[in-house]
Amino acid sequence: MAKSLPINGTDYVEFYVGNAKQAAHFYQSAFGFQPVAYAGLETGLKDRVSYVLRQDKITFVLTGALTPDSPVAEHHKLHGDGVKVIAFWVDDARKSFEETTAKGAKAYKEPYTESDENGDVVLSGIHTYGDTVHIFVERKNYKGDFLPGFVKWEPEYQPVDTGLIYVDHIVGNVGWEKMDTVANFYRDVMGFNQLISFDDKDISTEYTALKSKVMANDNMRIKFPINEPAKGKMKSQIEEYLDFYMGPGPQHVAVATDDIVKTISALRDRGVDFLFVPDTYYDSVTERVGEIEEDIEVLKKHKILIDKDDKGYLLQLFTKPVEDRPTFFFEIIQRKGAESFGKGNFQALFESIEHEQRLRGTL
């Protein structure tokens, strides 16, 4: 098998938002991210401001516009708050750019070097689905906290973390009949392998349906499930996303914990809203997943979902959308051997999402 493009992991995820200052506060207070770095007017930026937050291996950048003609403002006007950049940590950002563009990727940023007293970073970028982009970050000659151009951000307010440790996977929602095109992009341009596919026969409820393929790199640190809507009786949740995001884009970032009960209860205490899980979900769960280490009553109390595959099981839960539009949300996941994505929970999950869609009148 051909080798995939060498990627060490997710470097950062950058959100374009309507109010970066307030969003940064939300990620600190609700999710327990720690302040790392800042860039804005004080550092010479004219059209945008960025706050960098981190929790263990997860780095988020919240970027807002300072002027109406900023590309950040244009992106936000169209899409609302959402993920703009999924950045890859690579050893060679020039080679990553050359290899991917030679294989058909559309250039976003030609390779360039940024420097400060902490060293050099080489960056480059390509487009992926919708207005989403991938930035290649080569930081082997850099000792700073984030990137050149950023200064340390040290507010007094530093709430404790919630046990989030790394980005497990990032899901993209794409248009009707576009799943294969995007999956093939990751296969042909990045050398990713297809892990799993399922179609509307696997994932559908009375009303909604989707198709999905999971693409991953060789070391499995990058996993991208790609969803497209499928015909159901009523509007698919993927369609609702596409309508409100005004096109394809990242649907959710799954962040891992090694103590999901502790993490979920901390997040709930701090005001994070999760999807409603009916008590009846737990009536048949043991039958479906067999014996697990955790006490089902405890999982039921915290409304945590359980699924299994042939390698083990996983525990997961999904937040409600974290912005005004019903678009992007988070998944909290703890893997206990399982390498899959919770397909068995889709039914229960969909019924719950439909309940929310019904309340919004968008089903």
Site residues for Fe ion per CB under 5 A: 254, 331
Q: Sheet containing 305-309: which strands, arranged edge to edge? A: 193-198, 209-216, 223-230, 164-173, 249-257, 329-336, 312-318, 305-309
Task: Report the candidate in 237, 249, 267 with the shortest Cα–Cα distance to residue 332.
Answer: 267
C-beta closer to Fe ion: residue 126 or 171 = 171
Query: 3-class SS at 213?
Result: strand
Shortest distance, CB of residue 333 to Fe ion, whole angstroms? 7
Q: Specify the residue, 163 or 250, whose C-beta has the smaller distance to Fe ion.
A: 250
- Closest contact distance (angstroms) between CB of 357 and Fe ion is 18
Choose between 24 and 254: whose C-beta lies nearer to Fe ion: 254
Largest CA distance in the chain: 59
CB of 293 to Fe ion, least distance (A): 22
**Identity of the residue, 25 or 343, whose beta carbon is nearer to Fe ion in the bound complex:** 343
Two tokens, residue 119: 């060293």
Q: How far is the CB of 169 from Fe ion (least distance, A)?
A: 6
Per-residue CA distances from 209 to 180, 343, 344 (Å) = 17, 13, 14
Smaller CB separation from Fe ion, 258 or 269: 258
In the complex, minimum distance from the CB of residue 8 to Fe ion, in angstroms, rounded to a whole number: 22
Please state, as a whole number, how many other Cβ atoms lie within 10 Å of the Cβ of residue 358: 12
What CA–CA distance (Å, rounded) separates 329 from 323?
8
Closer residue to Fe ion (CB): 63 or 334: 334
Six token digits for residue 60: 């988020």
- Of the pair 85, 314, the CB lying nearest Fe ion is at 314
Minimum distance from residue 171 beta carbon to Fe ion (Å): 5
What six digits make up the tokens of 122?
């080489």
What whole-number distance in Å separates Cα of residue 135 and Cα of residue 128? Answer: 10
Residues listed for the chain:
363
CB of residue 331 vs Fe ion: minimum separation in angstroms? 4
* Least distance between Fe ion and beta carbon 270 (Å): 22
Which residues neighbour 222 within 8 Å (Cβ) at sequence distance 6 or greater?
Answer: 7, 9, 10, 88, 192, 216
Q: How far apart are CA 358 and CA 363, in angstroms?
A: 5
> Strand, helix or coil at 300?
helix
| Locus of tokens 């009916």 | 278
Choice between 123 and 254, CB closer to Fe ion: 254
Neighbours of 154 (CB within 10 A): 10
